[in-house]
Amino acid sequence: MTGDRRIYLDNAATTRPLPAVVEAMADTQLACFGNPSSAHSFGPPAKKALDDAREFLRGTLGAARIVFTSGGSEADQLGIVGSAAARAPGRVLMSQGDHPALLQCAGLLSRWRHHVTALPVTEHGDLLPETLFDALGTDVRVVALMYGHNELGTLCRLGDLVELVRRTAPAAHVHVDLVQTYGKLPFELDDVGVDSVAVSGHKFHGPRGAGFLALSSTAELKPLLLAGGQESGLRGGTENVAGAVGMAVAAEAALTHQSAHAAHMRQLCDLVLEQVLTAMPDAMRLGHPERHLPHILSLRLPGVVGQTLLERCDARGVAFSTGSACHTAADHAAADAHPGNPVLAAIGLDRRAAREVVRLSFCGTTTHAEADAAAHVLVEEALRLRELAPRGAGR
């Protein structure tokens, strides 16, 4: 497959921006190029475009306010580290299988004398309520949770986890990484009772380099970037007006078609999974069997090196991944001396098993024909690799 016939199944890494998003951003760049903070006549149009986008995005989550950021990673760090900085030294809880955007907050948190406790997860990448309960205490200042795992697709039992925090450590700030879930499943801050939520524009057909942190009315945090004191003093720097407008356009489209697209993407996951299991009965789907995102299909294919399979399928026009695109080349190199990537190690996979994992992720416009063709290529190449492997290797 070449040219326009290429099939893109790595939407958990990034999505193609909608034409309407690109158009709206281009129009905003030209018509509202002024600085929103400027007092002259070029400032107000940019400020109005920014405020309109802010109000719309705020309403999509029922938030009291939002802070525009450069993306989901910055929103996670502002939500976790910013809230911890506003509190006395204590513990910050998260899970061992979390995204690097959460786990790598540990260095920043240490500057405020906070200590990170990374909790173990199940073989599905699920943080059990009893595990969280055992770790909770009055010294817990922040609890960070991923609602929609980026590599496994697992949806945590968010309501149960938040209820435990409110009962045992009521003063703790509860932050949720919603990067993979926003626009795909319903979510409101008040319904769950969390304090902050991180969102990234390029995960729902919006722009790269744009995201936001949604806050409850009682959330307290300190800025990590002062600069000129923009975003009500919580995030300095001249605002990305076009990025905010682009996210609003993308969010409106995602929410309008949310239910239909979720059902469609689940069908695509089932279609590919059925074909893989028919040809390779020992293959397995990772993540929770019932609570999972509609668009992510994480597979372990015993006896097949995922990176090699990726390269062979990509050469035939089918693109997917072997894990999070947020891991750097250095991370992958380190994995050669480490039992798999941190997420797969956390769910109990050894080095060999971790190398046999691939992730396919769909979007609302992926067609059944594309999913079917991709499954055919994936199965064909996987079986060829098994035939080429030394007898008994990796089985």
Alpha carbons within 13 A on the beta-carbon side of 255: 15
DSSP 226-246: -TT-TGGGTS-S---HHHHHH
Place of tokens 């690109």: 22
Same domain, 284 and 250: no
Decide: 196 and 162 in contact? Cβ < 8 Å: no
Q: What is the 3-state secondary structure (H, E, C) of 320-384?
A: CECCCCCCCHHHHHHHCCCCCCHHHHHCCCCHHHHCCEEEEECCCCCCHHHHHHHHHHHHHHHHH
Cα separation, 370 vs 377, whole angstroms: 11
Among 255, 271, 290, which residue terminates a domain?
255
Q: Mean pLDDT across the chain, nearest whole number?
A: 92
Same domain, 36 and 163: yes
pTM reported for the whole predicted model: 0.92
Among 255, 273, 294, which residue terminates a domain?
255
Same domain, 374 and 279: yes
Q: Which CATH number fits the domain that encloses residue 310?
A: 3.90.1150.10
Same domain, 106 and 212: yes
Nearest to 31 by CA among 50, 52, 46: 46
Question: Does 371 map to a domain?
Answer: yes
Same domain, 204 and 303: no
Alpha-carbon dihedral 224, 76, 319, 245, rounded to 10 degrees = -70
Q: For 165-179, 199-213, 225-239, which range has the lowest pLDDT when averaged over its residues? A: 225-239
Among 236, 255, 274, which residue terminates a domain?
255
Question: Does 395 map to a domain?
Answer: no
267 CB neighbour count, 10 Å cutoff: 14
Domain coverage including residue 36: 19-255
Same domain, 246 and 275: no
Banded pLDDT at 336 (limits 50, 70, 90): very low
Strands 357-361 and 7-8: unpaired
Catalytic, 269? Answer: no
The dihedrals phi and psi of 158, each to the nearest 5 degrees, come to -60, -45
Question: Does 393 map to a domain?
Answer: no
Active-site residue identified among 32, 313, 326, 363: 326
Same domain, 236 and 291: no
252 versus 334: the higher-pLDDT residue is: 252
Cα separation, 328 vs 333, whole angstroms: 9
pLDDT of res. 245: 98
Banded pLDDT at 368 (limits 50, 70, 90): very high
Same domain, 180 and 100: yes
How far CA 92 is from CA of 88, 111, 120, 342, in Å, comes to: 11, 13, 14, 19
Same domain, 359 and 288: yes
Amino acid letter, 285: R
Same domain, 219 and 288: no
Output Rg (C-alpha) for the chain, integer angstroms.
Answer: 21
Burial of residue 315, with CB atoms counted within 10 A of its CB: 0-12 exposed, 13-18 middle, 19 or more buried: exposed
Query: How many independent structural domains does the chain possess?
Result: 2
Q: Which CATH number fits the domain that encloses residue 44?
A: 3.40.640.10
Same domain, 152 and 299: no
Q: What is the DSSP letter of 50?
A: H
Alpha-carbon dihedral 161, 287, 258, 56, rounded to 10 degrees = 50
Banded pLDDT at 102 (limits 50, 70, 90): confident
Question: Does 313 map to a domain?
Answer: yes
Mention every residue, 6+ apart, whose C-beta is less than 8 A from residue 135.
93, 117, 119
Read off the pLDDT of each residue in 165-189 and give the average, rounded to a whole number: 96
Question: Does 229 map to a domain?
Answer: yes
pLDDT of res. 4: 59
Read off the pLDDT of each residue in 348-373 and give the average, rounded to a whole number: 97
